[in-house]
Amino acid sequence: MSVDNLMHIELSVEIQQSISSDVANHFLIIPKDIADQESVFFIDETKTSEINNIKEELKLIFNKRIILEPIGSSVIKKALSIYYRKNDEKPRLISYGNDFLEDLIFEAKNINASDIHIEIYEEDVRVRLRIDGQLIEKNHIKRDNYLELINQIKIKSNLDITEKRLPQDGRIEYEDFDIRVSILPTHHGEKVVMRILGRDASHLDIYQLGFEEEDVLLYLEAVKKTNGIVLISGPTGSGKTTTLYATLKHLNKINRNIVTVEDPIEYTLKGVNQVQLKENIGLTFTSALRSFLRQDPDIIMLGEIRDVQTAQMAIRASLTGHLVLSTIHTNSSIGTISRLVDMGVPSFLIAETINISVAQRLVRTLCNTCKKEVDFNNEDLPRTFKTSMSIKKHHIAVGCHDCYHTGYKGRRAIYEILPITYEVAEAIKKNTLERSDAIKGKRLSDKAFNLFTNGLTSLDEVYPILINS
């Protein structure tokens, strides 16, 4: 437990769980040190006149010697809001019961967490949630409850409860969302990651994703073509699948036959024929795509181009008059072209079939409730990022109740667009794309820098993108 300049109290999970939320809020106290014979608490300085009475009451509750140290009201209130939310708010789940798993899943869903991590260590079990791309510790549970929890997850996801040596993958289905379950054997036991998958893509809107006005026009021009390939690149968790689904929703018309092969199916779209990848029985991207060509499709969506076979099938499909949408793991829109060349795809085929290459990232946006403006020194920017702009002020993350004390609330996509114009196609054929004057438009680093200078995000959040400029 630590106090940072008497402005912020940090509690370990063990010390936090030593008292209940009701006791902490009733007496306006925060535990500082808990021992067998005595406990030390910080107490709101406005309670100084009542210290003796409160000390006696706490002595009866804990049956040990009590020491109370007055501290500022603002510090106590902030600590209470972080660690001991009142009963009318959703409490931290710190004890295991029959409803623990359901409560955990639905709480994660309600606060827009994307993943739930359950990890076992030598002495306890940790539960973390991924919110806006970052893992946040939610609570710990006792090891005694761990096996029952794991078995409950396995039963719900139709997995083998007796198998503890091999990884297992399953799925839990709810009315309006699914949970993809991955179980991995580790040194102390099995680790579980549950990915929350929203079923309904009806809320997605291509105009609300984060495209700049000029970029969205270029993108829609590319996807309106009746054939060719549209590729979206970026690392895992950068929002590629969401962009694909928003595109499919935009293209989904009564006169079009749309088929997809995905791993997993993260959303469902009425009117779209979606196929779940099953590599263990031979249903791969390549085999599914081969079958799709006999299904009279207009538009084909592949979850990912992973290898040269899939790339070749996608090119074949586009050459025979189909529009193909897919994702690929590269760092930039130009890098997508280089990746296909490295796979062994001839440059002239790339130039003839690719309509547009898009790179994207997700950037966390600062919480408007607590973000703070401070002075800025341009020397804090990465040395590889060059700008003529002199920045005097910038905003930093602070943390409050509204943003779960992360300092950030929500994410925003940024895009780098490379339309395959005649000039770009010629540069691809000659393998001179990276040196070509035909490449125009802002880079990902420029888009990220704009968010930073406009006070929408912090330097810490965009620094990795600026480094790669």
Residues 423 and 280 in one domain: yes
* pLDDT the model gives residue 375: 92
C-alpha torsion angle, residues 371, 377, 378, 379 (rounded to 10): -120
Residues 79 and 150 in one domain: no
Residues 249 and 166 in one domain: no
C-alpha torsion angle, residues 443, 448, 452, 453 (rounded to 10): 20
Best CA proximity match to 409, nearest among 138, 211, 132? 132
Point out the domain boundary residue: 198, 232, 252: 198
Query: Which of the residue ranges 84-98, 173-187, 331-345 would you say has the lowest mean pLDDT?
Result: 84-98
- DSSP alpha helix (H) spans, 96-183: 100-110, 146-156
* pLDDT the model gives residue 357: 95
* pLDDT the model gives residue 223: 95
Helix (H) or strand (E) holding 54: helix 51-62
C-alpha to C-alpha distance for 452 and 112, rounded to whole angstroms: 24
Q: Looking at the domain assignment, is residue 289 inside a domain?
A: yes
Q: Looking at the domain assignment, is residue 208 inside a domain?
A: no
Q: Looking at the domain assignment, is residue 225 inside a domain?
A: yes
DSSP code, position 200:
B
Residues 182 and 241 in one domain: no
Rounded mean pLDDT, 67-87: 81
State whether the Cα torsion 167-172-178-179 is positive or negative: negative
* pLDDT the model gives residue 181: 95
pLDDT more than 70, % of the chain: 93
- Whether the predicted pLDDT of 78 surpasses 50: yes
Instruction: Assign 421 to helix, strand or coil.
Output: coil
* pLDDT the model gives residue 222: 95
410-447: b (≥16 Cβ within 10 Å) or e = ebbbbbbbbbbeeebbebbbeeebeeeebbebbbbbbb
Residues 59 and 132 in one domain: no
Q: What is the CATH number of the domain that holds 137?
A: 3.30.450.90
C-alpha to C-alpha distance for 167 and 182, rounded to whole angstroms: 7
Point out the domain boundary residue: 142, 174, 198: 198
Residues 255 and 391 in one domain: yes
Contacts of 102 (CB under 8 A, 6+ apart): none
- Whether the predicted pLDDT of 176 surpasses 50: yes
Instruction: State the residue range of the domain holding 424.
Output: 213-468
Count of domains for the chain:
3
- Is the pTM higher than 0.85? The answer reads no
Q: Looking at the domain assignment, is residue 8 inside a domain?
A: no
* pLDDT the model gives residue 6: 44
Residues 434 and 404 in one domain: yes
Residues 267 and 129 in one domain: no
Rounded mean pLDDT, 209-224: 92
Residues 60 and 128 in one domain: no
Contact between 184 and 190 under an 8 Å Cβ cutoff? The reply is yes
> From the CB of residue 86, how many other CB atoms can be counted at a distance below 10 Å?
12
Residues 287 and 397 in one domain: yes
* pLDDT the model gives residue 20: 78
Residues 360 and 424 in one domain: yes
- Whether the predicted pLDDT of 5 surpasses 50: no
Contact between 303 and 286 under an 8 Å Cβ cutoff? The reply is no
Residues 186 and 41 in one domain: no
Query: 169 or 21: whose pLDDT is higher?
Result: 169
pLDDT in tens, 11-46: 877 788 788 777 888 889 999 988 888 899 999 998
Rounded mean pLDDT, 311-324: 93
DSSP 240-307: HHHHHHHHHHHH--TT--EEEEESS--SB-TTEEEEE-BGGGTB-HHHHHHHHTTS--SEEEES---S
Q: What is the CATH number of the domain that holds 21?
A: 3.30.300.160
Q: What is the CATH number of the domain that holds 392?
A: 3.40.50.300
**Tokens linked to 310:** 């899939």
* pLDDT the model gives residue 440: 66
Q: Looking at the domain assignment, is residue 247 inside a domain?
A: yes
pLDDT in tens, 108-140: 888 888 999 999 988 889 999 998 888 888 888
Point out the domain boundary residue: 198, 222, 248: 198
pLDDT in tens, 371-428: 999 999 888 898 888 887 888 899 999 888 778 778 888 889 999 999 999 999 999 9
- The amino acid at 192: V
DSSP code, position 377:
-
Q: Looking at the domain assignment, is residue 5 inside a domain?
A: no
Average pLDDT of the chain, as a whole number: 87
Q: Looking at the domain assignment, is residue 322 inside a domain?
A: yes
- Phi, psi (deg, nearest 5) at residue 188: -100, -5
Query: Which of the residue ranges 72-76, 192-196, 449-453 would you say has the lowest mean pLDDT?
Result: 72-76
